[in-house]
Amino acid sequence: MSAILVQGYHSLKGELKIQGSKNAALPMMAAALLHKGTTVLRHVPRIQDVYCMMGILESMGCVCDLRDHVLTIDAGEVTDIRIPKEGGKAMRSSIVLLGALLGRCREAFVHYPGGCSIGSRPIDMHLEALSRLGAEIREEEGVLHALAPRLEGNHIHLPFPSVGATENVLLAAAAARGTTVLTGAAREPEVEELCRMLEAMGAGIRGLGTSRLEIRGTDNPGSVVRDVPGDRIVTGTCLSAVMACGGEAVLRRSSPGHLECVIGTMKKMGARIKVREDVLEIRMSGRPKAVSVETGPYPGFPTDLQSVFMVLMALSEGTGYLKETVFEARFATAKELHKMGAAIIIEGDEACITGRPGLRGARVQARDLRGGAALAVAGLAAEGETRITDCHHIFRGYEDLCGDLQSLGAVIRREK
């Protein structure tokens, strides 16, 4: 397995362009199934999860072509309605293909999805919501078989604003008869981007950016050319790297409007940040100031940046607290940070973190996608060398984390 080697104690300075959003690209790829023709997505990140989704679509009969960062998907013929077990187990986002397949083919076979081990993340809400649109779903030898001869608009309420469940409802409702009213919907920017794509394909959607969506289906979704927005989590990771090491950076295509809560927290910790349209400028000197952070659905603090903020708080002046309200197993990275000298005490869903002037290099393991990136940031602020193993998790969501950080002056490289 590949590893990442990091040499710490180098301040950062430079400029980079943020990759396309993983969490936006994957449901947009699923939406391409609704159109019996060609869909073009631009600014697509070249990451493992995108390649995995391409493989799943190709197994169904689609033709996918990713050149540079432009992805063309020809879904003129769908020859198989089964999501391969390997693809479904490798990537949790494959579950959004359930709504898309029901919208296109009115039938689907899917395995329970996999992905990072950061919590149980049940899909009961997905299945209940789709059943409200007319789908009959039963389990057959560990495989979910969904059948919907007719999809009809309905009123649906989600008891928790699940991003995946919201996306599944959108994809199925966009091809259903009549109007669907969805309350309790997730408000994440990636959901709004999917709404805009479905609108461009011919669906009518009201309430973008709110928890109440009205979706009017279309019986003939059309072709579209769409740009994937910049990845707000990659942006947050790079901003955190500058805060951990000190220095300054300019991040282009950074989607700052999607990071207001994060930017506000970073300013409280001592970062000087300027926003210019789609560009962020950050300057940091001295240690971060301790704060208390609680994760939550958008527009709250994103759980995907909890691990990297744990690193910042481990370096801060004072004692801070992190409360995780979304995924119960997201504190796994704390065990690895302990090896680097971090003072972190976990009690239930809360972490108490006493900051220290620096960390020490160590051999650590990337236990999940975001935690692995956080360890890279920790290595930048640690004395000596840090070796991060099991980096395949990182490559699921970061196109070139080492290259991005190198462009800012970091001493980091991938070892094969």
Indicate whether 249 and 206 sit together in one domain. Answer: no
The string of pLDDT tens digits covering residues 145-164 is 999 999 999 999 999 999 99
Element (H, E) at 335: helix 333-339
User: Would you tell me how many other CB atoms lie within 10 Å of the CB of residue 283?
Assistant: 16
Indicate whether 181 and 283 sit together in one domain. Answer: no
| Cβ 261 vs Cβ 301: under 8 Å | yes
Indicate whether 282 and 381 sit together in one domain. Answer: yes
Which of 159, 194, 227 is where one domain is finished?
Answer: 227
Q: Is the pLDDT of residue 87 over 90?
A: no
CA–CA separation, 272 and 283 (whole Å): 5
CA–CA separation, 131 and 153 (whole Å): 11
Q: Which residues sit opposite 368 in a β-bridge?
A: none
| Tally of domains in the chain | 2
Closest CA to 98 of 144, 52, 55, 60: 144
Mean pLDDT for the stretch of residues 58-77: 97
Q: Is the pLDDT of residue 101 over 90?
A: yes
The tokens 């919590």 sit on which residue?
Answer: 119
Q: Is the pLDDT of residue 121 over 60?
A: no
The DSSP annotation for 219-263 comes to SS----EEEPPB-HHHHHHHHHHHHHH-EEEEEES--GGG-HHHH
Mean pLDDT for the stretch of residues 204-226: 97
CA–CA separation, 54 and 41 (whole Å): 12
Burial classification of residue 149, based on how many CB atoms lie within 10 Å of its CB (0-12 exposed, 13-18 middle, 19 or more buried):
exposed
Q: What is the pLDDT of residue 113?
A: 67
CA–CA separation, 364 and 361 (whole Å): 9
Which positions are annotated as active-site residues?
A: 116
| Cβ 410 vs Cβ 12: under 8 Å | yes
User: Would you tell me how many other CB atoms lie within 10 Å of the CB of residue 332?
Assistant: 17
Distances 326 to 22, 127, 237 between C-alpha atoms, Å:
19, 20, 19
**pLDDT grade, residue 274 (50/70/90)?**
very high
Indicate whether 139 and 279 sit together in one domain. Answer: no
CA–CA separation, 305 and 323 (whole Å): 12
Indicate whether 47 and 12 sit together in one domain. Answer: no
Indicate whether 331 and 216 sit together in one domain. Answer: no
Which of 173, 200, 227 is where one domain is finished?
Answer: 227
Higher-confidence residue of 217 and 110: namely 217
| Cβ 245 vs Cβ 12: under 8 Å | yes
Which of 175, 205, 227 is where one domain is finished?
Answer: 227
Indicate whether 245 and 216 sit together in one domain. Answer: no
Indicate whether 293 and 210 sit together in one domain. Answer: no
What three-state secondary structure class fits 415? strand
Indicate whether 90 and 62 sit together in one domain. Answer: yes
Tell me which residue range forms the domain holding 117.
Answer: 22-227
Token pair for 295:
């994760």
CA–CA separation, 397 and 393 (whole Å): 8
The string of pLDDT tens digits covering residues 342-371 is 999 999 999 999 999 999 999 999 999 999
Q: What is the pLDDT of residue 143?
A: 86
Q: Is the pLDDT of residue 78 over 70?
A: yes
CA dihedral 369, 370, 376, 378 (to 10 degrees): -140
User: Would you tell me how many other CB atoms lie within 10 Å of the CB of residue 347?
Assistant: 7
Mean pLDDT for the stretch of residues 40-64: 97
Token pair for 299:
């527009």
Classify strands 363-365 and 385-389 as parallel, antiparallel or unpaired: parallel
Token pair for 258:
């999607």
Indicate whether 8 and 56 sit together in one domain. Answer: no
Q: Is the pLDDT of residue 89 over 90?
A: no
Q: Which amino acid is at 231?
A: D
Indicate whether 115 and 205 sit together in one domain. Answer: yes
Burial classification of residue 160, based on how many CB atoms lie within 10 Å of its CB (0-12 exposed, 13-18 middle, 19 or more buried):
exposed
Q: What is the pLDDT of residue 328?
A: 65
Q: What is the CATH number of the domain that holds 250?
A: 3.65.10.10
Closest CA to 404 of 240, 229, 227: 240
The string of pLDDT tens digits covering residues 275-285 is 999 999 999 99
Burial classification of residue 357, based on how many CB atoms lie within 10 Å of its CB (0-12 exposed, 13-18 middle, 19 or more buried):
exposed
Three-class DSSP labels, 59-123: HCCCEEEEECCEEEEECCCCCCCECCHHHHHHCHHHHHHHHHHHHHHCEEEEECCCCCCCCCCCC
Indicate whether 82 and 107 sit together in one domain. Answer: yes
Mean pLDDT for the stretch of residues 329-338: 89
